[in-house]
Amino acid sequence: MRKYITTATAAILAASTLLAAPAYAEFSNRNMRVSNGINADHPVGAGIKAMQTCLDEKSGGKMKITAFWGGALGGDLQATQALRSGVQEGVVSSSSPLVGIVPALGVFDLPFLFANQEEAYKVMDGEFGDFLNKKLLDVGLVNLAYWENGFRNLSNSKRPVTKWEDLEGMKVRVMQNNIFLDTFDNFGANATPMAFGEVFSALETKAIDAQENPYVTIDTSKFYEVQSYVSETRHAYTPFLFMFSKAIFDTYSPDEQKALKDCAVVGRDVERKVITELNKTSLQKIEAAGVKFNTLSPEEHKKMLEKSQVVYEKHKKEIGADVVDRVQAILADMRK
């Protein structure tokens, strides 16, 4: 009998606690600055719009993103450091300039790692992506979701690149990242690390001959105005990380945190869809501007890939052998 009463009391207590909890979610007015190096007409713009619509619905209009484009709040690395010190809320950054903070991110810089978008999505959105997110969290960065930067292609002002030997002596801007640097030096190019914000004028003044980015970036950052050739090398797929300052995130309510994470995924899906569509029209626009376009034959593409294996060997240790092995095991499994 006594036991019965205790259980019943416990049940009533539990029920009343449930009733006492607020039936509404907790949202405060939040103004969140999110910076980008690319311009507003890049598909990241469409992704952020979709994310905002989602946040409006969930927070009753209380959570607001203010986006800054074209590196207005500094380049990828600078903005990411601002997140770590809690003075800026968000950034959409390439992973490549951040390897000094999280060496494991260098895995995405390995040449020809992913064969197609599907592989990239599965790896980033699955347990491997979570594994890297933990490392980002340890350094004060909440990665809300992996957005798409995409497969990178080469543009230059010298000649069509149909085989790796054509890169001989070419002055190629690379991101501030040793794996990219070695990848291009290994092809005989003269790789020059440079922040994204300086690329247009460096191409214009011919301080450099070449750069590499997805078509949508060559289009929306207007590199086609100062380049004569675009070659479909697809030598790397780099992600965009939609990161949030952990210091600021920790002050948000669980409802706000959840809304941010959920809506970043909504934005991601829109951004990826728009990139896939725009990739085609971007290339048309680039060609219409008079830029000569070429693809590489499958044989030459394969030779480029084989030539790049030394880069894997050279950088495996600093990325973390466990990290490289892990992604390669996942990919091998997917390719079965």
Task: Select 236 or 260, whichever has its Cβ closest to ligand TK8.
Answer: 236
Taking the alpha carbons of 114, 115, 120, 122 in that order, is the dihedral positive or negative?
A: negative
C-beta atoms surrounding 306 within 10 Å: 11
Nearest CB to ligand TK8, comparing residues 212 and 256: 212
Structure tokens at 259: 């809304």
Considering only residues 46, 82, 124, 175, which one is a binding residue for ligand TK8 as defined by CB under 6 A? 175
Q: Which two tokens stand for residue 9?
A: 């009391």
Binding mask 135-154 for ligand TK8 (x = CB under 6 A): --------------x-----
Closer of 192 and 257 to ligand TK8 (Cβ): 192
∠ CA 208-224-294, nearest 5°, is 90
Rounded to an integer, what distance in angstroms lies between the CA atom of residue 204 and that of residue 201?
5
**CA separation (Å) from 171 to 46, 156, 174?**
33, 9, 10
CB of 194 to ligand TK8, least distance (A): 8
Q: Which of 164, 196, 229, 242 binds ligand TK8 (CB under 6 A)?
A: 196
Q: Does 38 bind ligand TK8 (CB under 6 A)?
A: yes
59 binds ligand TK8 (CB under 6 A): no
**Whole-angstrom distance, CA of residue 180 vs CA of residue 169:** 16
* Least distance CB 137 / ligand TK8 (angstroms): 21
Of the pair 39, 162, the CB lying nearest ligand TK8 is at: 39
Residue 217 touching ligand TK8 (CB under 6 A):
yes
In the chain the first and final C-alpha atoms are separated, in Å, by 62
Q: Which is nearer to ligand TK8, 59 or 88 (CB)?
A: 88
Site map 74..103 versus ligand TK8, x via CB under 6 A:
--x----------------xx---------
| 76 vs 166, beta carbon nearer ligand TK8 | 76
Interface of this chain with ligand TK8, residues 261 to 300, rule: CB under 6 A: none
For every residue of 147-166, DSSP letters joined together read EEEEE-EEEESS---SSGGG
| Interface with ligand TK8 (CB under 6 A), residue from 27, 30, 33, 37 | 37
Question: 330: number of CA atoms within 13 Å, CB side?
Answer: 20
Q: Which of 198, 178, 169 is nearest to 100 (CA)?
A: 178
The CB-side HSE value for 107 (13 A sphere, CA atoms) comes to 21
* Residue 97 CB, nearest approach to ligand TK8 (Å): 7
Nearer to ligand TK8, 196 or 244 (CB): 196
Binding site for ligand TK8 (CB under 6 A): 37-38, 76, 93-94, 149, 175, 196, 213, 217
